[in-house]
Amino acid sequence: MAPSVIILFSFLFGQIAIYRTAGECCQPSLEWKLVFKGVAGIGGNLYDLFTSDEGLNEDVQGARALTNEFQGHYKNHLMDKWEGIGVTEVKVALYTGGKEKASLLFNGISSDKESWFSNERLRSSPWDDLMDTKLENGKDGQYFSVAGDDGINRHFYINNNYGGCGNDAGWLVVVDDGSTVCNWSEYADKPYFMYGSNSKVTYESGNAQFADVIAIFIKHQFEYIENGQDWDLVFKAVTGAGGNVLDLWNSDGGRNEGNSRATDINTGFRDHYKNSKIDDWSSLGVKEVKVAIYYECKEVMYMIFNGEDSDKNNWFSKERLTSTSTLT
């Protein structure tokens, strides 16, 4: 059987991210990855943090522990790459004393940073009555969304009904800074996280539970590579896919440009790939060119060439070779 080797031609002309994918060769991550954590009672607006474009406490030891010992929220900047990393599943979990008390699972496929949190995408929850209830955001106090009732700062809100503060009932709410409408919006230092034990709960009944931590985890297909100099994939040749690679390189026009699987760094897609921008080489301001060989989805060897003042072919020469790896 021929080895699964891919040759990757890339060139650097700006800051472009690469998403290295799972496929038949590289399996999607089966482990949950923590991307967001809120801690009760320490201030701040979790919705504002969640929807911002920045991470928080990513390099702080203890920030990812599922307790309230570290008095700070946590956000992985990977969240802001949501639509590029192929999120498949999302988990929301509530913790008290470091123990998981409740969790919800959502279908994350083709979702964005907020749309996954919805009635339609819910796969499982600790509340049987929620699974049988269809909620329509904004109708009669019904909510099932990350934004929730943003006007009064009730977020990650799964609510069944309004009807006066003493009748407000639902399953989950993050009461953020600025929420002051009802008595139950003033129970504790914000933010705080209220939920029903086994079913929906009337928030002022005294039966609502409170969690120390709310955490969001994802499973995703693609690895986001961020190494300071990101490469743009312009050509890929796959072992055993047939055809003449040199003829394809020298031809005019692209190949498989409209097929997102064609840029996978694996052998799941059994054809070559060419980006038509290669044909405009001289106008791109190419600075560097990288040739990489992959075996079983891992980069085993690469060469980097000086691409300045080069054309489509002369960059590949001994004189322009600037660095190379050791074959692994």
DSSP 48-78: HHHHSSS-BSTT-TTTTSSSSSS-S-EE-GG
Specify whether 149 is located in the same domain as 172: yes
> Residue 136: phi, psi to the nearest 5?
-115, 110
| 3 state SS of 100 | strand
pLDDT tens digits for range 27-58: 455 689 999 999 999 999 999 999 999 999 99
Residue 108 has pLDDT above 80, yes or no: yes
Does residue 28 lie within any of the structural domains?
no
Residue 157 has pLDDT above 90, yes or no: yes
Taking the C-alpha atoms of residue 45 and residue 147, their distance in angstroms, rounded to an integer, is 12
Number of structural domains (the chain) is 2
Q: What percent of the chain lies above the pLDDT cut of 70?
A: 85
- Tally Cβ neighbours within 10 Å of residue 202: 19
Give the domain extent around 230. 5-22+225-324
Predicted pLDDT of residue 178: 80
Taking the C-alpha atoms of residue 160 and residue 137, their distance in angstroms, rounded to an integer, is 10
Picking from 279, 221, 209, the residue whose alpha carbon sits closest to that of residue 249 is: 279
Does residue 154 lie within any of the structural domains?
yes
Which has more pLDDT, 9 or 190? 190
Minimum mean pLDDT range among 9-23, 73-87, 248-262: 9-23
Specify whether 188 is located in the same domain as 240: no
Residue 12 has pLDDT above 60, yes or no: no
Predicted pLDDT of residue 40: 97
Residue 322 has pLDDT above 90, yes or no: yes
Specify whether 248 is located in the same domain as 200: no
Taking the C-alpha atoms of residue 121 and residue 146, their distance in angstroms, rounded to an integer, is 13
Mean pLDDT for 242-263 is 88
Predicted pLDDT of residue 156: 98
Residue 121 has pLDDT above 90, yes or no: yes
- Tally Cβ neighbours within 10 Å of residue 308: 11
Predicted pLDDT of residue 253: 93
Mean pLDDT of the chain: 85
Does residue 212 lie within any of the structural domains?
yes
Specify whether 99 is located in the same domain as 147: yes
Specify whether 64 is located in the same domain as 174: yes
Mean pLDDT for 154-183 is 93
Confidence of residue 175 (pLDDT cuts 50, 70, 90): very high
Does residue 184 lie within any of the structural domains?
yes
Specify whether 232 is located in the same domain as 147: no
Predicted pLDDT of residue 257: 87
Specify whether 143 is located in the same domain as 53: yes
177, 196, 220 - which closes a domain: 220
Taking the C-alpha atoms of residue 174 and residue 193, their distance in angstroms, rounded to an integer, is 5
pLDDT tens digits for range 208-239: 999 999 999 999 876 665 544 457 788 888 88
Specify whether 142 is located in the same domain as 196: yes
Which has more pLDDT, 294 or 187? 187
Please say whether the beta carbons of 70 and 132 come within 8 A.
Answer: no
